[in-house]
């Protein structure tokens, strides 16, 4: 509606529906400046709740390519925080507690342990919160370390906290593909969804149905279910012959520095106390071949447009 969400002045873009903006502003004032009521009014409107599909899509692409008429909903990729929270919600790991101290989610270990300078000294290594209940809170409660962004959230366009961000971007870049398919975050969530499906359903077809239901909010049709079943059976054969390596968390790390005055190198050991009594998420090496095969299917579900986008 607004040409520039962060600039309503003369230098900003003109709004597409100025009369509607005026009406909403007047309604907002008349009803006591209550933001929640205004949000509810907008979100319950037919325009806000309409489908991303339109029977005359080809004609609209010519007449209104930017969808200024709001004839349909433009598909939107989940933001970085929404993506992480949606993964945890699907697996049943999300801790929905409100308020409290910030938490430290588990991030890529190479990034967490890399040396980082701060105020002319070496900053301590990133250490995640000890238990899953602490780590798996909503992303809004995740502590943001200055100069050390969470690589999973950063690759999905989480804005820099030092800059104003009037609107999220959804740029597609190659590292997103590698992150969705190969990162420990996605691997752990796939295993978690697989374990949940196994707990809540007995047979393989029922487990597949449950996994799809948790990821998509719907059940698969007969063709989808049969294809997914054949895939899981194929992956069972593969995983029966391939055992992944267990993950080990370091309790200390050796740092190398250079003495400022003499220029001589020296080493010192940094202790990582959180990993001495750490409660990790379930890893592929800790589950059987059947669970890993179902986890491969769960990873595919998480990588699909149906999960990644709001239509």
Pairwise CA distance, residues 67 & 273, whole Å: 54
- Report yes or no on 160 lying in a domain: yes
The whole-chain average pLDDT of the chain stands at 91
**Domain check: are 181 and 72 in the same one?**
no
**Domain check: are 190 and 306 in the same one?**
yes
Pairwise CA distance, residues 198 & 210, whole Å: 9
Pairwise CA distance, residues 306 & 92, whole Å: 19
Where does a domain end: 76, 101, 126? 76
- For residue range 154-163, what is the model confidence (pLDDT) as tens digits? 999 998 887 7
**Domain check: are 121 and 253 in the same one?**
yes
Q: What mean pLDDT comes out for the span 248-256? A: 91
**Domain check: are 66 and 160 in the same one?**
no
Where does a domain end: 9, 43, 76? 76
Whether the predicted pLDDT of 10 surpasses 80:
no
What are the residues facing 254 on neighbouring strands? 269
Whether the predicted pLDDT of 196 surpasses 90:
yes
Task: State residue 221's pLDDT score.
Answer: 96
Task: State residue 1's pLDDT score.
Answer: 65
**Domain check: are 262 and 120 in the same one?**
yes
Q: Give the domain range for residue 55.
A: 18-76
Q: What mean pLDDT comes out for the span 29-54? A: 93
**Domain check: are 187 and 283 in the same one?**
yes
What are the residues facing 269 on neighbouring strands? 254
Task: State residue 224's pLDDT score.
Answer: 96
pTM here is: 0.86
**Domain check: are 49 and 177 in the same one?**
no
**Domain check: are 93 and 45 in the same one?**
no
- Residue 208 CB contacts under 8 Å (≥ 6 apart), including other chains: 197, 220, 225, 228, 229, 232, 294, 297
């Amino acid at each position: 509606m607004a040409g520039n969400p962060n600039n309503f002045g003369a230098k900003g873009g003109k709004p597409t529906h100025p009369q509607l903006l005026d009406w909403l502003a007047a309604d907002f004032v008349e009803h006591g400046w209550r933001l929640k009521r205004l949000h509810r009014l907008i979100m319950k409107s037919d325009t806000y709740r309409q489908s991303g599909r339109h029977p005359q899509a080809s004609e609209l692409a010519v007449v209104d390519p930017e969808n200024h008429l709001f004839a349909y909903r433009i598909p939107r990729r989940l933001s970085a925080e929404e993506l992480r929270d949606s993964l945890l919600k699907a697996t049943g790991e999300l801790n929905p507690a409100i308020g409290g101290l910030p938490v430290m989610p588990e991030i890529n270990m190479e990034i967490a342990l890399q040396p980082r300078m701060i105020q002319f000294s070496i900053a301590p290594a990133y250490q995640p919160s000890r238990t899953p209940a602490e780590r798996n809170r909503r992303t809004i409660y995740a502590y943001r370390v200055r100069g050390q962004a969470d690589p999973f959230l950063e690759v999905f366009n989480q804005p820099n906290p030092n800059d104003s961000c009037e609107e999220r971007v959804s740029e597609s870049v190659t590292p997103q593909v590698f992150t969705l398919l190969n990162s420990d975050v996605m691997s752990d969530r796939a295993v978690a969804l697989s374990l949940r499906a196994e707990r809540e359903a007995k047979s393989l077809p029922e487990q597949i149905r449950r996994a799809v239901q948790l990821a998509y909010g719907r059940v698969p049709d007969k063709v989808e279910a049969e294809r997914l079943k054949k895939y899981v059976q194929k992956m069972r054969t593969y995983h029966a012959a391939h055992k992944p390596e267990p993950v080990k968390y370091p309790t200390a790390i050796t740092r190398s520095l250079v003495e400022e005055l003499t220029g001589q190198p020296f080493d010192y050991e940094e202790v990582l106390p959180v990993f001495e009594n750490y409660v990790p998420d379930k890893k592929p090496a800790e589950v059987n071949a059947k669970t890993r095969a179902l986890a491969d299917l769960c990873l595919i579900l998480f990588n699909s447009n149906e999960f990644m986008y709001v239509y």
